[in-house]
Amino acid sequence: MSCNEVFDYILKQYGVKPDYPFKKDGRSAVFRHKENKKWFALCMTVQKGRLGLSDDGAMDIMNLKCEPAILGSLLNEVGVFKAYHMNKEHWLTVALDGSAETKLIKMLLDESFRLTK
């Protein structure tokens, strides 16, 4: 999935539009619950090296909340990484470059939405 596809899915599934709270970076998008304002997803662009990849260049990613009990097994999935710039026990990062399966991304989004509600 691409960022645009994720944005469309979130709008259709949860009725939530992106919020851009970072003034210096108008591209990073936060998705929050309407009721409690808690984040359930953060989409941004980072250098691949920040995720432990040897490739040069940048990549779109999304941070999602996850149950600690299943986090370890999810890190074995293609396109799933330890959380970038967030609590690594409760969050993970998913690549939005086509490497992670769409079905997995949607499942992780749904779980993150549930966990933060």
How much is the pLDDT for 24?
A: 83
Dihedral pair phi/psi, residue 26, rounded to 5° = -80, 5
> Mean pLDDT over all residues of the chain?
94
Number of independent structural domains in the chain: 1
Confidence of residue 17 (pLDDT cuts 50, 70, 90): very high
pLDDT score recorded for residue 26: 75
Give the pLDDT band (50/70/90) at residue 69.
very high
Question: Does 30 have pLDDT greater than 90?
Answer: yes
Query: Could you give the 3-state DSSP secondary structure of residue 19?
Result: strand
- Angle (CA) 77-92-40 rounded to 5° is 125
Assess whether pLDDT exceeds 90 at residue 23: no
Q: Tokens 């499942």: give the residue.
A: 107
CATH code at position 50: 3.90.1150.30
Radius of gyration of the chain (CA): 13
Q: Quote the domain boundaries for residue 32.
A: 3-116
Of all residues in the chain, the percent with pLDDT exceeding 90 is 85
Question: pLDDT-derived band of residue 84, with 50, 70 and 90 as boundaries?
Answer: very high
> Beta-strand (E) ranges in the chain?
29-32, 39-47, 58-65, 80-82, 91-95
Question: How far is the CA of 14 from the CAs of 10, 19, 85, in angstroms?
Answer: 6, 14, 25
Sign of CA dihedral 55, 57, 60, 63: positive
